[in-house]
Chain A
Amino acid sequence: MQLDENLPTATATAAPAVSMKLLLRDAGIGIALVLLILFFALTTDHFLSPNNISNILTQITINLILAIGMTFVILIGGIDLSVGSMLAFCAVVGGSVLTIPDLSVFQAVSLATLAAVGTGALCGFLNGWISAFWGLPSFIVTLGMLNIARGAALQVTDARTIYSFPPSFNAFGSQMIYGVPVVFLIALALVAIAWFVLSKTVFGRLLYGIGNNEEAVRLAGHSLMTYKIAAFTIAGVLVGIAAMVYMARLNIASPIIGIGFELNAIAAVIIGGTSLSGGRGSVIGTLLGACIIGVLANGLILFGLSDFMRQLITGVVIILAVIIDKYRERITAA
């Protein structure tokens, strides 16, 4: 029977435009970050010292780069659990190239970057293709990739650590411009590019569309598979970049690095206000989310809490963020 019990009752109301809403959402997270910074500035001695700030920015960088890629995946309603393992795999592949003898530093670094990013892209492509082609939940597929990439990294290196990279490469990793780590500036540039792609291109529009209503996008004549694969591949490319940054900073590539990094990346995205069910969120939010996690980690230690307590409190913040998101959803829906 066709009783219209669920007639839409919404009429045109004076709801603020979406971009405005998105802005407000990011502003809310920004305010939380500022309050957090104020708190630590007032309660600890060295929080705002230039040294400590560079420290925080350096610590944030890897997670931020991974979280940018994660944002693409979560926006289409997926998840990527494999980025930590992929980081190790990309790093050992890149590291092996980096230590090939008789290459100039420039050659070595460019080839290594190509190798690391290519490895990440390939793993990401597989994640996307397998889950899109067979219609599998990305949760499971990337759980598989988590093991595959880790196993591959251990196999390739025979569980050994790769080190002694070109000294100038390592120097680059700790380079500062006015006290700001260059690697963080790279991450910021990536945020800017991702923001542009997501908000100004047809590609970005369709990613948001897919996250909101896959069927409507499909019936409007778009191939879901292409866009899903692309989102996961982008996440993989960013893992490759993060692997290069990792090696530049720490001067090693080991098959056991990156364990649990995927969880921090997901946390940054979620704290940044991107909905786990997809379709809502922004990479600016992700930037703020990564900053909140970094500030908390650093500030709580300065505050005199143990690393255990830091972990505990970060967990609480993640759950709080999701609860707040639930309310935001309700407000947006109203």
Chain B
Amino acid sequence: MNTNLAHVDSVAQPLLELHDIRKRFGGTVALAGVTLSVAPGEVHGLIGENGAGKSTLIKVLCGIVKPDSGAITLAGEAYAPHTPRDAKARGLQVVHQEFNLLPFLSVAENIFIEHLPRNALGVVKRRDMNTRARTALDAIGLKDIDVRWPVERLGIAHRQLVEVARALMTESRVLILDEPTATLTSRETERLFAIIDDLRRRGVSIIFVSHHLDEVFKLCDRVTVLRNGETVTSRRIGETTQDELVRAMVGQQLQKEMTHSIGSSARSETVLSLVNFRHAQSPHEDGISFDLHKGEILGIAGLVGSGRTELLRAIFAAEPPLSGTLMRDGKPAALRSPRDAIRAGIGFVTEDRKEEGLILSMPIAANVTMASLADVSRAGLLDQRAENALTEKLGADLKLKYGGPGKNAATLSGGNQQKVVLAKWLARKPEILLLDEPTRGVDVGAKAEIYALIRRLAERGLALLVVSSELPELMTLCDRIMVMSQHRIVGSLPRAEFSEEKILTYAYQGEKRQTGH
């Protein structure tokens, strides 16, 4: 990183240059003018909030998504790849966030999957392949794994490094790493950084997408911030600070007015309390601890992958928790299945309506009563009239716009589908409601109605735990916001102290704060 000066000069002749890239998906603007230039041998950080446009930009660069307008040049020539293969031929490689390895093939086969070395008969030259794979792994310091092992045998971190090795097999001029450290431990991260340093010395340009600002500062020469699909700023790393970048990511948005009057600050009784609560995916022994009070709307903020959804699923016992205590109304409760959780008065509006929340091809009434069939049946016989009556009553409560209780849930718009999911849980009269991204894919009007509903429920004494990636949403709704990072709660803010900046600072620096303890 003592080569910063050289890079300043070389930016004048960028290897990769993007000018005003725009892309819409239907009514959603994904990219609204991204401008970016990367010098040869430069490590360029790309940062932005969830949904700022980073993934779409990567898809544009590797030929998966075609931009609507804008120009890209690579080494001075126009660059418009139609497929990832095109991109590769031009020397641009991406190591994706999701793994693209074939688990039952060997490490060597995975590395060479695109060009398996073959003899004249088309038989794979296994020994040759294995030797070359060995060299490739040695080159990135992966000496401890055998290239004949199936990828299945490797841990997630090693798989990530194998992906890097595969990307390096083809001569690349530009290598894009999409959140490569998300699954790595600090030692493996160090190893990856050493590899990146080496590549930089060989003149390869690297675009490094990360949620971790400290990594960006450690590794990158320059950094570009995206917000709402637009380039906000590109800075030399030595000329900026973490605080400045966080402000750039958040923007100078007006603080939302605090229209919501908070109930008395004297807390009412605790309805749910976690003590050192752990689930299968939580890496920390001390787990998670917090209290949820009657009538409280408690928000959970955090980056994608910080463990918010997993926490909700564990509370609801969708996956059985590992250890720790869950207290319901002050008494320890052993919840082993969603059925137990529901009996304990907990409801769960899942993140994914289509996969987990609704049965789209079944009638609205059947969806509404799915969790409370005992209330609309006698001796196992469904009472259609009771079922429709309940659906109509809740439908009216929630201002559901629908053709009738007998229509399929698939006929509804996103917002109304979400109301059906809410109705399903309200039919059970829960005391605690867990909401995961309650307004995702919901139009503005329905969003406001769902907010109003959530507040009304809190006033009636329900305790609500809300996970959302939209900070303004949490700041409008919640009495208190907890920030999660890497499966820990790294901060908790009362309403008076809400600000996007504070929340993001916690979210991005969670790792650092924790190690500082």
Contact = CB atoms under 8 A, between A and B. Distances in A.
B52 A219 contact: no
A208 interface: yes
Contacts of A11: 412-413
A250 to B, nearest CB: 37
A333 B410 CA distance: 8
B382 A1 contact: no
B419 interface: no
Contacts of B514: none
Interface residues of B, number: 60
Nearest to A19: B406
Interface string A214-230: 01111111110000000
A8 B409 CA distance: 12
Contact of B469 (A2, A18, A212): A2
Contact of B342 (A17, A206, A221): A221
A203 B381 CA distance: 8
B28 interface: yes
B382 A13 contact: no
B358 A202 contact: no
Contact of A1 (B54, B414, B417): B54
Interface string B360-396: 1111001000110110010011100000000000000
B162 to A, nearest CB: 24
B304 A220 contact: no
Interface string B279-290: 000000000000
B302 interface: no
Contact of A216 (B53, B359, B406, B414): B359
B355 interface: yes
A91 to B, nearest CB: 32
A5 interface: yes
Contacts of B339: 221-223
Interface string B14-38: 0000000000011110100000000
Nearest to B404: A17
Interface in B313-345: 316, 318, 337-339, 341-343
B411 A10 contact: yes
Given A8-B413, A279-B361, A2 B407 contact: no
Given A2-B469, A3-B56, A5-B28, A18 B408 contact: yes
Contacts of B363: 17-18
A3 B377 contact: no
Contacts, number: 142
A205 B366 contact: yes
B355 A215 contact: yes
B508 interface: no
A218 B350 CA distance: 12
Nearest to B469: A2
B85 to A, nearest CB: 23
Given A10-B411, A332-B361, A218 B338 contact: yes
B316 A219 contact: yes
B239 to A, nearest CB: 27
Interface string B32-72: 00000000000000000011111110000000000000000
B404 A203 contact: no
Contacts of A213: 355-356, 358-360
Contact of B338 (A202, A219, A332): A219
A330 interface: no
28 contacts: A1-B50, A1-B51, A1-B54, A2-B51, A2-B304, A3-B30, A3-B51, A3-B53, A4-B25, A5-B25, A7-B27, A8-B413, A8-B417, A10-B411, A10-B413, A11-B412, A11-B413, A12-B401, A12-B402, A12-B407, A200-B382, A206-B373, A209-B370, A213-B360, A219-B348, A220-B338, A220-B371, A280-B361
Given A217-B359, A220-B338, 14 more contacts: A1-B53, A3-B51, A4-B25, A7-B26, A12-B402, A12-B413, A15-B408, A17-B363, A17-B406, A18-B406, A203-B380, A218-B338, A219-B316, A220-B371
Interface of B: 25-28, 30, 50-56, 304, 316, 318, 337-339, 341-343, 348, 350, 354-363, 366, 370-371, 373-374, 377, 380-382, 401-404, 406-408, 410-414, 416-417, 424, 440-441, 469
Top 10 closest pairs, chain A to chain B, by CB? A1-B55, A17-B406, A221-B342, A220-B371, A221-B339, A8-B414, A220-B370, A2-B51, A213-B359, A212-B359
